């Protein structure tokens, strides 16, 4: 599993643990929009991150 899969699993775990993306984002020290993107469209995030010209996070 690559790092993008790990980030997705961590985001899903945190949302399940905290009950919503806002609290999960806070726990992960990410923006709510980043966590929401992981959950709603994980493939798009993975493809964007694999493009070395784009900063992920």
pTM above 0.85, yes or no: no
**Measured distance CA(44)–CA(38) in Å, rounded:** 9
Q: Which domain covers residue 30, as residue numbers?
A: 3-50
Q: Give the whole-angstrom CA distance, residue 48 versus residue 28.
A: 20
Please provide residue 31's backbone torsions phi and psi, each rounded to the nearest 5 degrees: -75, 155
Per-residue model confidence as pLDDT tens digits over 10-24: 988 999 999 999 999
Residue 57: inside a domain: no
pLDDT digits (tens, 9 = 90+) for 2-51: 556 788 889 889 999 999 999 999 999 999 998 888 888 766 555 555 55
Which residues are CB-neighbours of 17 under 8 A, at least 6 positions away?
Answer: 24, 27
Number of domains in the chain: 1
56 belongs to a structural domain = no
Contacts with 40 (C-beta within 8 Å, 6 or more apart), sequence order: none
């Amino acid at each position: 599993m690559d790092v993008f899969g790990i980030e997705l699993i961590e985001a899903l775990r945190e949302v399940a643990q905290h009950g919503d993306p806002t609290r999960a984002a806070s726990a992960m020290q990410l923006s709510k929009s980043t966590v929401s993107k992981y959950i709603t469209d994980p493939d798009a995030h993975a493809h964007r991150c694999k493009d070395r010209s784009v900063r992920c996070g």
